[in-house]
Amino acid sequence: MNLTLLLVSLAVGTETADQKNTYTVNASESTIQWYGGNAVGKTHEGTLSFANGSLEVSGGKVTGGSLNVDMNSMTCTDLSDGMADKLVGHLKSDDFFSVESNPTAGLVIKKIGKGENGAAQITAALTIKGKTEEVTFPALVKIDGDNLLATADLTFDRSKFDVRYGSDSFFDNLGDKAIKNEIKVSVKLKASKAAGI
């Protein structure tokens, strides 16, 4: 999750071929939606917020960047308040994401290739709970003057980040009590060109 989230592509901008700019993430105008749940039955969803981040743009295309997600911002939006608070508390605990000792999740873009249907194919290092794994996902980016708008969907395997609770990767005979290893994150990101650039 820390998901963090995310983005890049063959955006058309006003920069010249050798001009480089930094776009800073606007956390208040960006959204992160997460989806996860039981292997059989109930699915939950909620939100997260960016802590900070920036994207590097050269020649009208994103060439790199890093994003950090505030894990303490986690909410659950499909349950009533009391039940949502209980679930979020459990997700923040050491059973899942150990948020007290790992308050942010991060993503660093390593490589950008050409994807399908006008998207870019992003390869990045995702860090959750102090563990880093490579992920690949498509993203669409548009540069509009001083603003950069990006959307991306990323699915990651929580078991690779030592998030073990209810995972059939670590425990046998869970049956319908198993919780999916796959967590999906949908991101809508807005970033603005750094002042003075």
Q: Is residue 56's pLDDT more than 80?
A: yes
pLDDT digits (tens, 9 = 90+) for 74-88: 999 999 999 999 999
With cut-offs at 50, 70 and 90, classify the pLDDT of residue 174.
Answer: low
Number of domains in the chain: 1
Share of the chain above pLDDT 70, in %: 84
With cut-offs at 50, 70 and 90, classify the pLDDT of residue 100.
Answer: very high
Q: Quick one: average pLDDT of 125-144?
A: 96
Residue 12 lies in a domain: no
**Could you tell me the CATH number of the domain that includes residue 124?**
2.40.128.110
Residue 30 lies in a domain: yes
Looking at residue 193, what is its pLDDT? Answer: 93
Residue 9 lies in a domain: no
Q: What is the pTM assigned to this prediction?
A: 0.86
The average confidence (pLDDT) of the chain is 87
Residue 163 lies in a domain: yes
Residue 3 lies in a domain: no
pLDDT digits (tens, 9 = 90+) for 30-54: 999 999 988 777 899 999 999 999 9
The rounded distance, in Å, linking the Cα atoms of 102 and 26 is 22
Q: Quick one: average pLDDT of 139-157?
A: 95
The rounded distance, in Å, linking the Cα atoms of 84 and 101 is 22
Residue 4 lies in a domain: no
Residue 43 Cα distances to 38, 69, 150, 176, 180, angstroms: 6, 22, 26, 13, 9
130 is in which domain, residue-wise? 20-193
Residue 105 lies in a domain: yes
The rounded distance, in Å, linking the Cα atoms of 160 and 133 is 7
Residue 11 lies in a domain: no
Name the maximum alpha-carbon separation found in the chain: 59
Looking at residue 10, what is its pLDDT? Answer: 32
